[in-house]
A and B are shown apart, each in its own frame.
Chain A
Amino acid sequence: MNTNTNIPNIPKEDFEFVGTDSYLHDKKLETKPIGYFRDAFNRFVRNKSSVAAAIIIMILVLYAIFVPMLCQTSYSRALTDTMYQQYSKLPPKMKLLAWAGVDGTSKVTINSNTYEAYRAKYVETGMNPIVKVYKANYEDPKAASENARYYDIKVDNYYNMGMMELTLTPDQYKDLQAYQSETGLQIIYPSVKTQSKDKNANIWYKVDTRGNPVLDEDGNFINDYRIASVNDKSYDSLRIASDTDPEQPYAYARVTGTSEVPSYIVRVSKYNYFIYRYGFEPSFNFGTTGNGFDIFTRLAAAARFSFLLAICVSAVNLTIGTIYGSVQGYYGGWVDMIMDRICDVLGGIPFSVVTVLFQLHLSKQVGVIGALIFAFVLTGWLGMAARVRMQFYRFKGQEYVLAARTLGASDKRVMFKHIFPNSLGTIITGVVLVIPGVIFSESSLTYLGIVNLESSTMTSVGTMLANARSFFTSYPYIIFFPCLFIALLEISFNLFGNGLRDAFNPSLRGVE
């Protein structure tokens, strides 16, 4: 051990550098280095269900981003249009999925009166609402009326919209006529002599007192159109096929108002009027709501709002929760205790109470959405803070922290440069799991009407559900798409979050 320890005064010239001509270095790694995130990513990819969930989330996000931007039609943009009511409750119709039955048809059982009315629509306009008759003219033993006859048919709900009455100014009337002449599309149909009791614009034929059609010997409908005077030049456009007698032309409008400012009440085909007004044939991918809103674009707008809200809330929660949790976990002791009591108090307030109080106090100043975000933020960061605090307790006693502190790093530096990156995995998982929670709470609150976000330009999934609920037995598709959206979203976010957690922290796998 004690060789060469006592040699005095070695001359400087005897010192010599070793190996000046070669470099000494570590052996180069032959494989690629795998960092923390790379490792987590590799583990994540192996989890098939989480990857599938991630893809579904991607699709939903793309739907929420791009549909409101690209798929808006002149119909879904005309938001304060009262015409909406006329096109309500239409079923989904998609060109791509027409083979699967998504073609705007539905199977119904109707009585013979209704069947005749459907047939009359076909005779007048040539658009046949009856696609297929499954079972014709049978007696239903369960029905209340004994001599009633029933039909099981497949009905095209788009062609079945029939007629409506519109009151037009002279200019609008002229414009409509010009469009008709130009395209050859019959929009205006002759007006009817007798007004039926319930002002049904579809009844263009003679009916008896009970509302049943009066047929001639061949079983055809007898028309009940008004006859205009030959001198009337206000209508100069397409005439329907049966309007052949030049001496007795049909009247295509009822004129009311003063002679200076006349207004024309016309019977128009809803289907063709839609083409005239909005420039495309009525066809709604997801159908329309009870108010006539296009579900496809409306739901996308709702989804976009939900995502934006969730991302805003989780970003704010992340910031507050991280700072709060770090301070709590890092300093510990009485600081931790006091801050924990604050958390106790905040955590004890039921969320619905917070929301209501914020709505009552703040919705005038910052708006309904602002108040909602405040409510989410007030208690939302508690979970994140608890998570971060736990991570800090875990890491703060470790050697590298001690080393950093010995080297003179400030508290702030130790907290955010050394400890925080280590707890990043847990935090990312936390953020991902916050998002479905926020969307769920938001939809519940709007469903219950505690928060009301409904307006002509905006809606939320919860409001769509609440509005669809009153007629969801007859029109289940109105409630189906919002339900499907929220169910898919919640499932895939939970799967995705679990996958992330397993990837970042393999030791937790299987612990739910």
Chain B
Amino acid sequence: MDDAKRANTTFRDYLRKAADWYRHAYRLRYTIKRVLLMLMVFFIIISICFILIKLLPSKPAEQFGKDKNMVEMRRKALGYDKPLAVQYLIFIQKSLLGGDWGMSEVRYLGSNVWDVFMEKMPATVMVNVYTMLFAVPLGLLLGIYAALKKNKWQDHVISTGVMVFVSVPSYVYAFLVQYFLCYKLQLFDFQIKSGRDFLSWSMFVSMIPAIISLGFGTIAGLARYTRAELTEVLTSEYLLLARTKGLSRSQTTVRHALRNSMVPIFPMILGEFIGIIGGSIIIEQIFGVPGVGALYIESITSTPPDYNMFLLLSAFYTIIGLASGIVVDLSYGFVDPRIRMGSTK
């Protein structure tokens, strides 16, 4: 009797604990909710893309010309003979769940689309990682400096520069960099060097023009944001309190102002870090980076367009965009415990 009762209470305790935990795990709940929502959105988008692509005439099959048999066979091989709904089911089963995105039909004829994609990935990632490594600290420093020197000439210089670099399209700097650094001063080559040694020093040097061109925008954006956030925090009352308590100006700035201003800035940096995998199509094209962006342009400007490649890359860009949005949202809660994402309170 006693045992049974005890067992019962412990079980009930567990239940209560679980319920409590569930109630307090709003962050986990929120995360799961957001991820599920994201997957749903992704699924809808990729379905629309698939259907729109399959509705197009099958150019790769038609290139066999007048030979009806060949065209028919090719259509069959590409799966165009089945009804659209069946094709869609096969697509979900084979590509979305199985990870097999089919063969390239044009440029990389016969090779698996996914393999080509993975082969192009390192160049894009490396260029963008280098960019972030030098752009993020520089952007933060400029922003902090401008905020500390608010309304002095240093601030005006930085703010004007930021305004210019935020507005002017990145390909304009790319041309300037190519013209002055690569042509006039002959410091670098126009295009990055061929080869797959992405971690080597010589590869890094040849990537510098692309890194600089990509970095300007990031630096300017980050500096502007940091300046705005930090000036707001620097004028707040708790900072005045900290000063009255006897902290020095540098102590208040570093310990109080900077940490608080990082709350919105950190998620932004995180979002950019995810976004870097997507890269910048136009910079990759200008500097000949053999990356995903170049692959994307190739897949749509080739005749006929490479549908399988296009579908895979569309899925990739979609998921990158969605994921960076989620990570930014969620990281607010992690950076600042006061922000309770998804909490009802």
Which A residues form the contact surface with B (CB < 8 A)? 344-345, 348-350, 352-353, 356-357, 360-361, 436, 440, 443-444, 447-450, 465, 469, 472-473, 476, 479, 483, 486-487, 490-491, 493-495, 510-512
Contact = CB atoms under 8 A, between A and B. Distances in A.
Contacts of A344: 37, 41
Contacts of A447: 171, 282
B317 A345 contact: no
Contacts of A494: 163, 166-167
Given A486-B168, A510-B232, A511-B228, 6 more contacts: A350-B318, A353-B318, A361-B56, A447-B282, A469-B175, A490-B168
A361 B301 CA distance: 15
| Top 6 closest pairs, chain A to chain B, by CB | A350-B317, A490-B167, A491-B167, A494-B167, A353-B314, A487-B168
Interface string B81-121: 00000000000000000000000000000000000000000
B80 interface: no
A510 B169 contact: no
Given A345-B41, A345-B45, A491-B164, A473 B179 contact: yes
A356 B45 contact: no
22 contacts: A344-B37, A344-B41, A348-B42, A348-B45, A348-B321, A349-B48, A350-B317, A350-B318, A353-B49, A353-B314, A356-B305, A361-B55, A447-B171, A448-B285, A448-B297, A449-B301, A472-B175, A473-B178, A493-B167, A511-B232, A512-B224, A512-B227
Contacts of A510: 228, 231-232
B312 to A, nearest CB: 12
Interface of B: 37, 41-42, 44-45, 48-49, 52-53, 55-56, 163-164, 166-169, 171-172, 175, 178-179, 183, 224-225, 227-228, 231-232, 281-282, 285-286, 296-297, 300-301, 305, 310, 314, 317-318, 321-322
B253 to A, nearest CB: 19
A350 B55 contact: no
Contacts, number: 100
A162 to B, nearest CB: 27
Contact of B318 (A348, A360, A465, A491): A348
Contacts of B286: 469
Which of A361, A436, A448, A491 has the most CB atoms of chain B within a 10 A radius of its CB? A448
A349 to B, nearest CB: 5
B169 A486 contact: yes
A62 B164 CA distance: 23
A352 B171 CA distance: 17
Nearest to B299: A356
Nearest to A450: B300
Contacts of A348: 41-42, 45, 318, 321-322
Contacts of A469: 175, 286
Given A352-B317, A491-B163, A512 B225 contact: yes
Given A348-B42, A350-B321, A449-B301, A440 B169 contact: yes
B175 A479 contact: yes
A436 B321 contact: no
Nearest to B297: A448
B52 A361 contact: yes
A1 B316 CA distance: 80
Nearest to B314: A353
Given A348-B41, A348-B321, A352-B317, A486 B282 contact: no
A449 B310 CA distance: 16
Contacts of A449: 297, 301
Nearest to A476: B179
A450 B249 CA distance: 53
Contacts of A436: 167
A357 B164 CA distance: 33
